[in-house]
């Protein structure tokens, strides 16, 4: 009973915030609406007893959307992507295509006679899903993830022209920091 109520709350929340992505008038608001939609979708994943996958969706989407908003604040011409703008282009064609895809997918989901498996449910569905998706490639994917993370950190480090301790000298012996813009702490 409660799982059905939670499912429908998550489903309606995911669809509602998904619609909000295209109804709000700024990139930042659209990003946070998309984040909320993914969190609601992760709620449905948690309801089917896949806690690792649900937590992974939440953590990945939070980090991705927050990074996207940070880059909007840094690089967009308008302040923080908050200026009004249209989020939908070619509205009539987009509405027609999305309605047709929705009807087709709904028809497949409701009308197809889905096969039933005679095998018992695995003891840990998350492990089974991980093995089915990655199989023997899990170690490769973990190493690739570390390599990507190292690349991101190295890019940020190389992009800064001043290090963390440059203000106080190589030996940290400067009492007053040498800031490029005057008026900092201690001035």
In-domain check, residue 149: yes
Q: Does residue 138 share a domain with residue 93?
A: no
Give the domain range for residue 132: 125-172
Number of domains the chain is built from: 2
Strands (E), the chain: none
Q: Does residue 32 share a domain with residue 83?
A: yes
Distance of CA 115 to the CA centre of its chain: 33
In-domain check, residue 76: yes
Q: Does residue 68 share a domain with residue 1?
A: yes
Q: Under a CB-based contact definition with an 8 Å cutoff, are residues 34 and 22 in contact?
A: no
Burial degree of 46 (CB within 10 A; 0-12, 13-18, 19+): middle
Question: Which structure tokens are listed for 162?
Answer: 């001043």
In-domain check, residue 107: no
Among 184, 130, 144, which residue's Cα sits nearest to residue 162? 184
Q: Which residue has the tokens 């490639």?
A: 137
Q: Under a CB-based contact definition with an 8 Å cutoff, are residues 44 and 53 in contact?
A: no
Q: Does residue 93 share a domain with residue 25?
A: yes
Q: Does residue 83 share a domain with residue 5?
A: yes
In-domain check, residue 187: no
Q: Does residue 146 share a domain with residue 82?
A: no
Q: Under a CB-based contact definition with an 8 Å cutoff, are residues 14 and 7 in contact?
A: no
pTM, to two decimals: 0.53
Q: Does residue 95 share a domain with residue 29?
A: yes
- Give the separation between CA 187 and CA 184, rounded to whole angstroms: 6
Question: Which structure tokens are listed for 83?
Answer: 């200026």
pLDDT at 110: 94
Q: Does residue 140 share a domain with residue 84?
A: no
In-domain check, residue 41: yes
Q: Does residue 154 share a domain with residue 62?
A: no
pLDDT at 170: 66
Conformation bin of residue 172: beta by default, left when phi > 0, alpha when psi is -120 to 50: left
Q: Under a CB-based contact definition with an 8 Å cutoff, are residues 126 and 52 in contact?
A: yes
In-domain check, residue 114: no
Q: Under a CB-based contact definition with an 8 Å cutoff, are residues 25 and 85 in contact?
A: yes
Q: Does residue 83 share a domain with residue 19?
A: yes
In-domain check, residue 7: yes
In-domain check, residue 27: yes
Q: Does residue 140 share a domain with residue 48?
A: no
The ranges of the chain with pLDDT < 70 are 76-83, 85-88, 159-171, 177-187
Q: Does residue 91 share a domain with residue 14?
A: yes
């Amino acid at each position: 009973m409660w799982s059905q109520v939670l499912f429908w709350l998550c489903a309606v929340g995911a669809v509602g915030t998904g619609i909000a992505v295209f109804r709000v008038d700024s990139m930042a608001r659209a990003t946070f609406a998309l984040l909320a939609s993914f969190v609601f979708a992760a709620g449905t994943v948690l309801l089917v007893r896949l806690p690792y996958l649900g937590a992974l969706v939440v953590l990945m989407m939070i980090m991705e959307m927050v990074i996207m908003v940070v880059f909007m604040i840094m690089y967009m011409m308008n302040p923080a992507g908050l200026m009004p703008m249209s989020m939908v282009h070619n509205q009539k064609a987009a509405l027609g295509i999305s309605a047709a895809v929705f009807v087709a997918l709904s028809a497949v989901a409701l009308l197809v006679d889905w096969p039933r498996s005679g095998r018992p449910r695995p003891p840990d569905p998350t492990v089974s899903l991980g093995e089915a998706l990655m199989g023997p490639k899990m170690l490769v994917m973990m190493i690739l993830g570390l390599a990507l993370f190292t690349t991101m950190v190295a890019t940020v480090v190389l992009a800064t022209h001043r290090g963390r301790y440059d203000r106080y000298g190589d030996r940290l012996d400067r009492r007053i920091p040498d800031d490029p813009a005057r008026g900092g702490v201690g001035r």
